[in-house]
A and B are shown apart, each in its own frame.
Chain A
């Protein structure tokens, strides 16, 4: 059964305190892993797609990495504006573009 698990459920950081979010997945034949940012009351905003183990992508203070079983979203020197829920998703084994999402990590960065 396809499954995506994110940890921690919630994370509180001080401004400048780097950390990592985890996304572990179980799916037959990974066809990409997606990271999104979601602000309260809004739709998810696309961040990254990773396709193969060892791949890394960066955007400002965020860096996403991928292994055969999990992905990490590293946040370096976060700022309060990085506060959001971070979601990861993978395509279902049954359909390339159908995504299954993890429950998300709610990140709060305090000044």
Chain B
């Protein structure tokens, strides 16, 4: 299957700082990528759709000014968590479509 990577795999930051997470499609081009969030023992919740060359679309209840998404190329989307707070601590997972929807390995964010 297609490969999606994420970087970093885990990050710890202080409250109030911003954190950037990268999502790359390694062996295919993706005009659309998705960002999900997963809290412990819960399922994945779609946060936003990242569109190459245009603005991201956000799901209801997701603050677009807090979770900045940039899809600058056909293989890279970034999610920046701005002014992170402890409640933003979660597992962030991206996905991209190559026939099927393939997921990255996830990024564990811990905000102290």
Q: Could you tell me which A residues sit within 8 Å of B by CB distance?
A: 34, 36, 41-46, 49, 87, 89, 95, 97-104
Contact = CB atoms under 8 A, between A and B. Distances in A.
B34 interface: yes
B-side interface mostly? strand
B100 A87 contact: no
Interface residues of B, number: 23
Contacts of A49: 100
B34 A98 contact: yes
B43 A104 contact: yes
Interface stretch (B61-69, B76-84, B104-112): B104-112
Given A36-B103, A46-B1, A46-B100, A87 B43 contact: yes
B105 A42 contact: yes
B97 interface: yes
Given A97-B32, A97-B34, A43 B100 contact: no
